[in-house]
Structure 1
Amino acid sequence: MDKKAAQGNLLIVEDNPTNLSFLFNYLTKSGFKVLVATDGKTAIQRVEAAQPDLILLDVMMPGMDGFEVCKRLKSSPSMRDIPVIFMTALSDTLNKVHGFEIGAVDYITKPIQPEEVVSRIQTHLTLRNLQKELQAKNEHLLQSQQQEKQRSLELEEALHKLQQTEVQLIQAEKMSSFGKIAAGIAHEINNPVNFIYGNLYHANEYIQDLFELITLYTQTYTHPTEKINRKIQEIELDFIQSDLPKLLESMQVGAERIRQTVSLLKNFFHLHEAELKFVDINQDINNTLLLLEYHLDAKAGRPRIEVIKNYGSLPLVKCYASELNQVFMNMLTNAIDALDEKYGKLKREGEMWLIRGDRKAGEEEEEFVRSPLTPDQSQSPTIEISTESVDEAKVIIRIADNGSGMTEEVSQRLFDPFFSTKPVGSGTGLGLTISYQIIVEKHRGQLDVTSERGNGTEFVIEIPIQS
C-alpha cells in the first residue's frame, strides 16, 4: 500500500490524557496532521470546522458518549461521509456491533497497538480516496463521455472488492458476538433452570406429603386449641391447600418455557456443532419464527401477523446452518417491517372520523352516528412460507408478505452493500447483502425477489441439497 496515498487529516476524540498523548505523538511522527478533542461536543465542533479525513472516536466518554457523537455526525449531510473508527475494549462485543450499526467503519481494541492503528487508518483512507476518485471520475464522464472509462471501471471493481471485504468482516464480527452472547445465556441460564425444573417435582411431592399429614392431624385431633384455630384462619389453610399446587404448576410451565428458549438459541446458532452439517430446513424456519414470536404479536397500528406454512417434504440439506438461519431471520424481519409500515399506515388513516346520516322512520330530523374508519377487513398482515424439493438436487424456500412492497428502483439496489431505505441509525443496510453472499457465494444457490409497491414482496431462495 502507498503510505502517502493514505495519509490525511485526522481527529482523535479521547478523554484519557495518556491515550490521547500517545496517539497524537505516534500518528504525528507517522506523517499525519492530527487534531484532538476531549469530549463529544468539542469533537462535533472540530469536525464541522476542519472536515477531517477520518475520526478516531472513543466510545466511553463523560457527557456525550461516542455513540451519540457518531449518530449526530451521520445525520449531517456535510459530515456523514467521514469514516469513523471506534476505540473500545476488547471484551465489549455488543458496543462493537452497535458501532457498526450506527455508521462506524471499523473499531480498534484497547490497549491500543500503534502499528494496527496506522494500518487500519491507511486502509480506510484509501477506501475513502477511492470513493472520492470514483465520484470525480463519474462527474467527469458526464462531460467527456468515454475518457477514462477503463480507469473508472477498475476503480469500481476495487471499491466493490473493498466493500465486500468490509461486509464479510462486519458479518463475522456480528455473528461471533451474537454467538458468544447466546452461548453465555445458554450456559448461565440452563444450569439454574434445570435445577429449579428438576426440584419442582420433589417440592410438589413434599408439599402433598405435608398436606396429607395435616389432614391426618385434623382427622385425629378433631378439637384443636383456640390458638391453632386462629392460626388456620389467619393463614387461610384451605386456600393454601388448593392454590399451592397451582402455583407450583405455573412455576413448572415458566421453567419449561425458559428451557425451550435456551434450546431455541442453541439451535438457531448451532452452538458447539460443525459449521457444515445436515439440517432440517423446515425445523430451522420454525425455530426462527419462535424467536420472532414477540414481533408477530398484535401491536399498536396492526393486528397479529398470520403465518401460513406450506412446508413440503424435504431431505436433510448440507449447509452452513447458522448462516442460513441468519438469512431466514433477515427475510422474516424485513417482512415484519413491511407489514408494520403498511398496516400501521392503514390504522393511522383509519383514525379519521366520518359522519353518516341514518334517518329513522317517522322522524323529521336525521340522526347522525359517528364511526371510525378501519383498514380493509378482507386483508390482514400475512407472511406465507413455502418449501419444496426439486429433482432431489435442490430445495426452494419462498417467503412472501402482503406488506408495503418496494419500488422498482429499490428492488434493483436491494443487494447493494450499505444501501438501506431506513433512517440513519436504524441499520447498516447489510442484511440482504449478507444474505445474498450466504446463498449465492457460499452455498452456490440463487436468491431472487419480486415486489410491487403496495402489494407485497416475495423472496425465493434456491440452494443445492449438497452444498
Structure 2
Amino acid sequence: MQQTILVVDDTPTNIQVLFDLLDASGYRVAIAKSGEIALQRLENSLPDLILLDVMMPGIDGFETCRRLKAAVATQDIPVIFMTALSDTVDKVKGLQLGAVDYITKPIQHEEVLARINVHLQLRQLNQTLEAQVETRTAELRQALETVKQTQIQLVQSEKMSSLGQLVAGIAHEINNPINFIYGNLKPAEEYMRDLLGLIECIQTEVPELPEAVQKYVEDVDLEFLQADLPRLINSMKLGADRIRQIVLSLRNFSRLDEADFKAVDIHEGIDSTLLILQHRLKSTDTLPAVKIIKDYGDLPLVECYASQLNQVFMNLLSNALDALEEHSERQRAAGQAFIPKIQIKTQDLGDGQVAIHIVDNGGGMSEEVRSKIFNDFFTTKEIGKGTGLGLPICRQLVVEKHQGQLHCESHLGSETEFIITIPIKQLAIETAADESLLTIA
C-alpha cells in the first residue's frame, strides 16, 4: 500500500524539491503551505508521516506540532522537522514537543529518504505491536471471563451439592424416627381409648371405690386426664404430621435424585422454600412478622431442574428478607411503623412460558445499584455477609440452564420485583431451535 507524506513548507522551491524526490521514491505526496492549512487538511485525511518546516508565517512549526500532538487523531503521526537552524536549543524544543527527528536544510536527498524510511518502519512496527497487544489483551480478557464463569459454576456446583446433601441428610435422619413415632401414634391412641374405657367401666360398675383408690383418683385429677389425654394425643399426631411435611419439603427442595429435566409443580418448590425459611418470617427484635402474599395462578407442570430452580427461589427470597430487615431498622430508627411484605405471584403467560414474580417492600434500590446487581462479585452487603455471586448464579441457572429470563425492576424508596420467565417445555424449545438451524442451513 502506497504511503502518504504531508510536506508543510511555505517555500515553493523546497516543496518542489521534496515533491519530486518523494514521488520518484514511490510515496504519495500531500502539500500544505502553512500550519493552518496543514491542520485543516488533517481533518479529512491522515498521512503516514509529516515533514514540517519550523519557520513559517502564521503559526510556526513548533505550534503546529504542539497542536498535532494534542489531538487524539494525529498524535501518533511521526513528525520530522525541517530547519536551517543549527541551534541545539531549537532542536531540543522540537523533540520535547513530540517530533521524532530533524532534517537540516539544504536538504540531502539520501539523508531525507533514509530518515523517512526509518521512521515509517518504526511506526509500522509500533502499529503491528499495538495490534498484537490488543489481540493478546482481548484473548487474556476472554480467558479471564472464562475463568470467572468457571469459578462461578464451580461455586454453584459446590454450593448446590453441599446444600442438597445437607438438606437430604437432615431429612433422612429425621424421617426414620418421625415415621416410628407417627406409626405408633395410632395404636397408642387405641390403647388410650381402651384404658379410658376401662376406667369408665370401673367407675360405672364400682361406684364406691376403695379409699386408697379414691384418694389416688383425686390426686391425679382423673377427670382432667380423661378430658385432656385425647387432646394431647391429637396434638402429638398434628405435630408428627407437621414434621413429616417438613421432611417432605426438605426432600422436595434438595431433589438430589433428579439430575435431568422433570415436569414439576412450581408452587410446591416455592412452598418448600418458604417452609425452610419459616424461621426468618417470624417476628424478631429487628423485624416484625413478614406477611407472605401468595397469588398463585393456574400453572401446568413445568419441565426444569427442580433443585436448581428451588435454589433460585431460595436466593431471591433470602435477599428479599435481607432487604426487609435493613429497611425495618431504618424505619424503626425514624420512628415509623413498617409492615414487611413479600408477594409471590405466578402466571401462565399463554405463550408456552410461565412467570414467577417475587416482590418485596424493602425500600427498593437506586438505578445505579440495580444496573450492577447481576455483575459477578458485586454486593452491597457488608464484608462476610455477601459474596456477590448469588444473583449472577441465579441468572445463569435461569438463562443458561432453563432458557429463560431473569430481570429486576426497582425504585428507591419503593418496592423491588424480580421476574422469572421460563418455558413450560424445555424439549420443545430445543427442538424448535434445531429446526430453525436446519432451515437456515
Gapped runs of 5+ residues in structure 1?
1-144, 351-373
Letter in 1 for 2:302: V
Compared CA separation, residues 231 and 308, structure 1 to 2 (3 A): closer
Compared CA separation, residues 202 and 184, structure 1 to 2 (3 A): same
CA distance in 2, matches of 1:209, 1:264: 36
Which residue does the alignment assign to 2:397? Answer: 438
Which residue does the alignment assign to 1:153? Answer: 138
CA distance in 1, matches of 2:296, 2:310: 16
Gapped runs of 5+ residues in structure 2?
1-129, 427-441
Compared CA separation, residues 146 and 426, structure 1 to 2 (3 A): farther
Work out whether 1:452 is the aligned partner of 2:437.
no
Which residue does the alignment assign to 2:161? Answer: 176
Which residue does the alignment assign to 1:43? Answer: none
CA distance in 2, matches of 1:211, 1:196: 22
CA contact (8 A) 2:258 2:306 kept: no
Matched-pair identity in %? 49
Which residue does the alignment assign to 1:94? Answer: none
Tell me how far 1:287 sits from its aligned partner.
Answer: 2.3
Matches within 5 A, 1:144-223: 148-223=133-208
> Residues 386-418 of structure 1, C-alpha deviation per residue, up to 9 Å, x if partnerless?
222234421222212221222222222211222
- SS of 1:243's equivalent in the other structure is helix
CA distance in 2, matches of 1:218, 1:454: 70
- SS of 2:156's equivalent in the other structure is helix
- SS of 1:194's equivalent in the other structure is helix
Work out whether 1:285 is the aligned partner of 2:244.
no
TM-score in terms of structure 2 length: 0.63
Which is worse superposed, 385-394 or 171-180? Answer: 385-394
CA distance in 2, matches of 1:274, 1:168: 16
- SS of 1:307's equivalent in the other structure is strand
Aligned residues: CA RMSD: 2.1
CA contact (8 A) 2:410 2:417 kept: yes
Tell me how far 1:165 sits from its aligned partner.
Answer: 0.7
Letter in 1 for 2:364: G
Compared CA separation, residues 218 and 310, structure 1 to 2 (3 A): closer
Compared CA separation, residues 174 and 274, structure 1 to 2 (3 A): closer
Residue of 309, 316, 322 corresponding to 2:301:
316
CA distance in 1, matches of 2:332, 2:402: 41
TM-score in terms of structure 1 length: 0.60
CA contact (8 A) 1:319 1:443 kept: yes
Which is worse superposed, 178-187 or 379-388? Answer: 379-388
CA distance in 1, matches of 2:409, 2:131: 34
Which residue does the alignment assign to 2:224? Answer: 239
CA contact (8 A) 1:301 1:348 kept: no
Residue of 356, 359, 362 corresponding to 1:397:
356
Matches within 5 A, 1:95-110: none
Which is worse superposed, 297-306 or 330-339? Answer: 297-306
Tell me how far 1:148 sits from its aligned partner.
Answer: 4.8
Letter in 2 for 1:228: V
Higher relative contact order (CA 8 A, sep 6+): 1
Tell me how far 1:331 sits from its aligned partner.
Answer: 1.0
Tell me how far 1:236 sits from its aligned partner.
Answer: 2.2
Letter in 2 for 1:380: I
Which residue does the alignment assign to 2:382? Answer: 423
How many aligned positions are there?
A: 297
Matches within 5 A, 1:350-361: 350=335
